[in-house]
Amino acid sequence: MKFFVDTADIKDIKELNDLGLLDGVTTNPSLILKSGRNIIEVTKEICSIVEGPVSSEVTATEYEQIMKEAAVISKIADNICIKLPLTLDGLKACKALTSEGHKTNVTLCFSANQALLAAKAGATFISPFVGRLDDIAFDGMDLIREIRQIYDNYGFETEILAASIRTVNHVKEAALIGADVVTVPPATLKALVKHPLTDKGLEQFLADWSKTGQTIA
């Protein structure tokens, strides 16, 4: 499974990239707002830090304007992935951009039918929003299962990018189902390493080592 981090915070991206944990980055208008920076400027810096795809989202909703914004975004860096809304105009743009050789990420997916359409349009990634479905009393992981089965049934190459991840259990469940990618907040990605028995065991080992009076280096 690939790990993307869902942020536009340069400090967090650098930290996780240095750990060797990052396969890519996803951003959206809300994260750009939170960064307080110009979208082109901060996206270009992110692209210079990570080698994998960096999703940058258009804000237009009509096809012609989507394509104009995509033309600007695509020139930021070679590893840009153009993030598009899951609408008819967004799917039309997805088909056109994919045909031109651009990576695309179709976002705000909440049904298997929507995911099927995105795959038909040639999307590089489809982003089903797990946490937002959980918020309205649906099991977001059921959507991941349905998309996985449909894509496997027909050999679609579109990668399932599980988004709106809220917990470490979301990550585990997405991996068990077979999502290709998860995009997570920095804190959630770092929390994957945590387990109380690991901490307890390390504490005991260090205490015993101290008693030996030895050093290794």
83 is catalytic: yes
Structure token digits, residue 49: 């830090």
**25 closest CA partner among 1, 50, 54:** 54
Supply the angle between the helices 39-49 and 10-18 in degrees, to the nearest 10.
10
DSSP letter at 192 equals: T
Q: Using CA atoms, how far apart are residues 174 and 194, in angstroms rounded to an integer?
A: 18
Instruction: Please write down the HEC assignment for all residues of 90-137.
Output: HHHHHHHHHHCCCEEEEEEECCHHHHHHHHHCCCCEEEEEHHHHHHCC
Pick the catalytic residue from 11, 44, 68, 83. 83
Residue 198 CB coordination number (10 Å) = 10
The catalytic residues are: 83
